């Protein structure tokens, strides 16, 4: 049945699991706003969540279309297909057609933009610049003429989007202001999301290289790319130490409990960067670390305020 197929495709491309990357900064930002100012509005919180999830859905639709049409997703070898790479597979598995994916992407981003405008007009004007940049990044990440993920800018866009943009967007909706602590808190989140996308690019390396998707793993090569994977981990933990020292708040160091997860995922990546089915464990650990780090940051805010 056509409707059932399309609904399955939508759930695949915009389900809760897919939106973990955006849910973590939004929930952490909410806890910070509530801990620091005692403010929370379920109406504005749920509207913000829905808006971001719709943008996520639209972004994934457009990204799958571009990767499918360019030949990237069709060139991924069966033994290199993983849950963390190769797009959302709605086109390669015939859950959606290219036209359907384009229509769904356009509709979801349009609805998200409408919600964002409503929030900016009625609740908080600071949402305007954050929302405009966010929608621009969502569309331009893979869609011409910018195609950031094809031109070595995708990792930067991901880091900015899931760090400062989403975190500060939710924070300002809840608290009505942007302060130094919120900006600092968004930094390690943005870096870790960059590392998630970084290691997730390994399974698609050959297909990306073949079809001109010049992300930084393709540009550097797999072995040199692992150096960046390690450096990004180091930067995350250094950021917590620097924030802790400069704010004289040592609760920030709680997040250092994730160091063993980082070490383990890096060791797996070094050993199995050419064995994609075994590399999956590194993908999983990086994502789990992201969730655990979000929880430890929430603990920091609750203990501090």
pLDDT tens-digit series, residues 80-133? 888 887 778 899 999 999 999 999 999 999 999 999 999 999 999 999 999 999
User: Which pLDDT does position 102 carry in this prediction?
Assistant: 96
Does 17 score more than 70 pLDDT?
A: no
Q: Tokens for 9, please give them.
A: 């495709």
Does 281 score more than 90 pLDDT?
A: yes
Across the chain, mean pLDDT equals 95
User: Which pLDDT does position 179 carry in this prediction?
Assistant: 96
User: Which pLDDT does position 3 carry in this prediction?
Assistant: 87
CA distance 28 to 305: 14
pTM: 0.95
Torsion, Cα of 297, 248, 235, 267 (10° steps): -60
Does 1 score more than 60 pLDDT?
A: no
The model's pLDDT over 127-167, given as tens digits with 9 standing for 90+, comes to: 999 999 999 999 999 999 999 999 999 999 999 999 999 99
CA distance 170 to 167: 6
Q: pLDDT above 90 covers what percent of the chain?
A: 87
State mean pLDDT over 187-213: 96
CA distance 59 to 105: 7
Residue 46: φ, ψ to 5°: -70, -35
CA distance 60 to 38: 35
DSSP character for 153? Answer: -
User: Which pLDDT does position 128 carry in this prediction?
Assistant: 97
DSSP 84-127: TSSTT-TTTTTSS-HHHHHHHHHHHHHHHHHHHHHHHHHT-TTH
């Amino acid at each position: 049945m056509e409707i059932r197929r399309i609904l399955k495709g939508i759930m695949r491309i915009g389900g809760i699991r897919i939106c973990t990357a955006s849910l973590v900064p939004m929930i952490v930002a909410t806890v910070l706003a509530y801990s620091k100012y005692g403010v929370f509005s379920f109406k504005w919180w749920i509207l913000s969540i829905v808006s971001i999830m719709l943008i996520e859905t639209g972004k994934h639709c457009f990204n799958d279309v571009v990767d499918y049409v360019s030949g990237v997703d069709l060139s991924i070898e069966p033994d290199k297909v993983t849950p963390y790479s190769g797009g959302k597979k709605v086109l390669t598995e015939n859950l959606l057609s290219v036209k359907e994916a384009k229509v769904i992407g356009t509709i979801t981003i349009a609805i998200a933009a409408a919600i964002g405008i409503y929030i900016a007009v009625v609740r908080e004007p600071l949402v305007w610049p954050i929302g405009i940049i966010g929608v621009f990044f969502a569309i331009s990440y893979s869609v011409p003429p910018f195609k950031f993920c094809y031109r070595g800018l995708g990792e930067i866009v991901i880091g900015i989007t899931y760090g400062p943009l989403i975190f500060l967007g939710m924070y300002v909706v809840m608290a009505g202001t942007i302060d130094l602590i919120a900006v600092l808190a968004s930094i390690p989140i943005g870096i870790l999301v960059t590392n998630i996308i970084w290691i997730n690019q390994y399974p698609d390396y050959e297909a990306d290289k073949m079809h001109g998707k010049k992300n930084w793993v393709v540009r550097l090569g797999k072995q040199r790319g692992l150096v960046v994977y390690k450096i990004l981990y180091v930067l995350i933990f250094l950021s917590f130490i620097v924030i802790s020292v400069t704010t004289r708040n040592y609760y920030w160091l709680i997040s250092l409990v994730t160091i063993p997860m980082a070490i383990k995922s890096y060791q797996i990546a070094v050993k199995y960067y050419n064995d994609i089915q075994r590399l999956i464990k590194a993908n999983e650990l990086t994502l789990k670390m992201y969730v655990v780090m979000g929880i430890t940051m929430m603990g920091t805010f609750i203990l501090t305020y």
